[in-house]
Amino acid sequence: MSKIYKNIGLTLIVPFILMYSNNGLSAPSGENEVNEITNAIGKMDAGKLAVYFGTTIDLEINETNNNYSKTQAEIILRDFFKNNPVISFTLNHQGDSDDGSKYFIGTYKTASKNFRVYGLLKKENDKLVIRQLQFDPE
């Protein structure tokens, strides 16, 4: 009988161990967000990018530089993508700071010019959101 109880115990415990252990298979916190964000930029998908915006976002694109609501920022980005179709987007660098924020730097290439892209993600309601996004002409 004790062998049966042992097997039942293992059957119940093993899934919890697998569920809550890292095993090196999951990405570090924030890496998935940065990947999703940079993929959205590369696909010029303002809607998918806006999913990661905080309640407000500091957005700098060409002459536009202000703090906007999620909706306003999405409209501005959609217009930017329409007027500056991407040829390629390259993630050049990403990192994090002691306060838990993440950042990334990339290059957004169009037919006529390149933009240096900088994004800053911070925790808001227990999730990482974009608080600052810049597209600076190079």
The answer to whether residues 138 and 92 touch, using CB atoms and an 8 Å cutoff, is no
Q: Which domains does the chain have, with CATH numbers?
A: 28-137 (3.10.450.50)
Using the structure block, give the residue that is written with the tokens 């309601």. 125
Element of type H or E holding 111? none
8-18: pLDDT as tens digits: 554 544 444 33
Q: Which residues pair with 117 in a beta bridge?
A: 106, 135
pTM comes to 0.77
- Beta sheet of 127-137, edge-to-edge order: 64-69, 53-61, 127-137, 114-124, 102-109, 88-96
pLDDT at site 60: 97
Higher pLDDT: 10 or 117? It is: 117
59-73: pLDDT as tens digits: 999 888 999 999 999
CA distance 19 to 15: 6
pLDDT at site 2: 56
pLDDT at 100 over 80: yes
* Cα–chain center distance at 118: 12
**Nearest by Cα to 130 from 32, 57, 67, 47:** 57
